[in-house]
Amino acid sequence: MADVHIAIEGPMGAGKTSLAQHLSASLGARLLLEQPAENPFLADFYTSSPHPALATELCFLLQRHAQWRSMPVTQGMVSDFCGAKGEIFAPLTLSAAELTLYRQVVQAIDSRPPTPDLLIFLHATPATLWARVQRRHAPYEARLSYDYLQQVSAAYAQWRAQYPGLCLDFATDQVDFVADPGHYQQILTRVSDALPTRNETSSP
């Protein structure tokens, strides 16, 4: 897949990491995964009052910034997040003053993550997302609320409606690409057909 970058986005529980792992193996691409378990503020964000929202978002910002810097896209790469992730969550979680500061930090560190050549957007109903989050028992999500999950899902839908780039959408409510090889093969075929060629990605 040459130097093509595929990014996968969607709310928690949509299946981003699992699909990224599958596609990376199938396409022979490097794998770049977000590390929520390494954000020391995330669990408190779901449980404490007041929530450490600014610290949580800044930690994710710096984590993603370091990942992009350490893995330049010089060969095929699949990531389970895209560079715009902060602009999905920060307006949802931060006050107006905090959002201003967050964006100042983005400018100060010159955070310019690559725009993916292909975005895969995974979505499901909040009920499905909630069931999956509960089933995986991640410690940092132990106190995540259903109401917040609904807000995140709505924020993602609004962001996706305005996304200008090449994107494939998959509703994962009835799709089990982990357990059903047929479901995964359908996704892989659509992704392979949609991938831009090296000439297309290098055009001005």
Burial class (CB in 10 A: 0-12, 13-18, 19+), 186: middle
CA–CA distance, 47 with 143 (Å, rounded to integer): 6
Amino acid at 27: L
Q: Give the DSSP H/E element, type plus range, for residue 146.
A: helix 146-162
Burial class (CB in 10 A: 0-12, 13-18, 19+), 114: middle
Q: Are 17 and 33 in contact (CB under 8 A)?
A: yes
CA–CA distance, 203 with 200 (Å, rounded to integer): 5
Neighbours of 130 (CB within 10 A): 19
pLDDT digits (tens, 9 = 90+) for 50-83: 789 999 999 999 999 998 888 765 568 999 999 8
CA–CA distance, 5 with 9 (Å, rounded to integer): 13
Q: Are 76 and 30 in contact (CB under 8 A)?
A: yes
**Spatial strand order in the sheet of 167-171:** 30-32, 77-79, 5-9, 118-123, 167-171
Angle between helices 96-108 and 53-70 (to 10 degrees): 20
* pLDDT for residue 72: 61
CA–CA distance, 159 with 13 (Å, rounded to integer): 17
* pLDDT for residue 178: 84
Q: Using a pLDDT cut of 70, give the percent of the chain over it.
A: 93
* pLDDT for residue 201: 46
* pTM attached to this predicted model: 0.90
pLDDT digits (tens, 9 = 90+) for 83-134: 889 999 999 999 999 999 999 999 999 888 888 999 999 999 999 999 999 9
Amino acid at 157: A
| Mean pLDDT across 167-172 | 95
* pLDDT for residue 52: 93
| Mean pLDDT across 16-22 | 96
First to last CA, the chain: 19
* pLDDT for residue 102: 97
Where are the domains positioned within the chain? Answer: 5-199
CATH architecture of 5-199: 3-Layer(aba) Sandwich (3.40)
